[in-house]
Amino acid sequence: MLPTVTIVGAGQVGATAAHLLLLKGLANVVLIDVVEGLAAGKSLDLLQAAAIENLGVAVTGSTDYAAMAGSRLVVITAGLARKPGMSRDDLLAANANIVGPIADHVARFAPQAVVIVVTNPLDVMTRLVLQRTGFPRERVLGMAGTLDTGRLRAFVAQRLAVSPASVQAMVLGSHGDLMVCVKDSIRVDGTAVSQRLPAPDVDQLITRTRDGGAEIVSLLKSSSAYYAPAGGIVQMVTAILRDTHEIMPACVCLEGEYGLREVCLGVPVELSARGVARVVEQPLSPQEREALHRAAEQVRTQLK
């Protein structure tokens, strides 16, 4: 019997993540959205798409949060998207008023679920969900590092005309201007990227990664990225549902790791069936460690 994954927010990111989950046959999907008919309409479309692919999965849509009962995972994508000229921080108050009540519903109807937060500003929203649900930190994490790492790998692969599968990287820190790219982690077929590209070129790719979301917003004008964020969600969901113990970046509440406490930030974690099996302390240069602490201070300021 397939587990159930609930996605709260049936917009572009949520619906695309639902489609990818169904295509992989990973789970039955529940879509929830406050807009009347949105989740129901998209779930009906997805159900028919699954039939075309001969997939025996269930898809339902509702405005009722009780529909998430029994879910193995809950993914929160609901919230306002950025428009041109907006920063993730501009969304803080508005999205806190959306995400906070959703967290209350999760605690009530899916008290055993692992929660993946996607709504921006990501680090603050993850902390808010952790506080409002009262769940242990292992079961509340944010999706950002898989997205930022994917963007960096894409840009490196494009620059070198190689397959993204041959590129390894790790992006930590805050999802936004204070992301921390671990330069020593960027490798192409196991070789340090510094042996393939001059330092200014690497820095340029890192800067483009940092501005990756804004670049897409500026091009689309009326919406933000959704294919890559959905892919990042599904990468994390897959690791949890399949209990792979794969190590990937995710936003979690730190309890002394990297010298930080009581702040949610992107770090490498080992994902398992229970969520975060452990936080992995990766060696960082003094500059990278300082950058990680600067990101933590920014998140603390936003929390206040």
Q: Which of 19, 175, 245, 293 is catalytic?
A: 175
Looking at the chain, which runs of residues are DSSP E strands? 4-8, 28-32, 59-62, 73-76, 114-117, 140-142, 167-168, 171-173, 179-181, 187-188, 191-192, 247-255, 261-272, 275-279
Cα 82 from Cα 137, distance rounded (Å):
28
Residue type, 23: L
Pairing state between β 261-272 and 275-279: antiparallel
Q: With CA atoms as reference, report the closest residue to 103 among 94, 113, 90, 93.
A: 113
Read off the tokens for 11: 């917009």
| Catalytic residue check, 105 | no
Are 187 and 152 in contact by the 8 Å Cβ rule? The answer is no
Catalytic residue set: 175
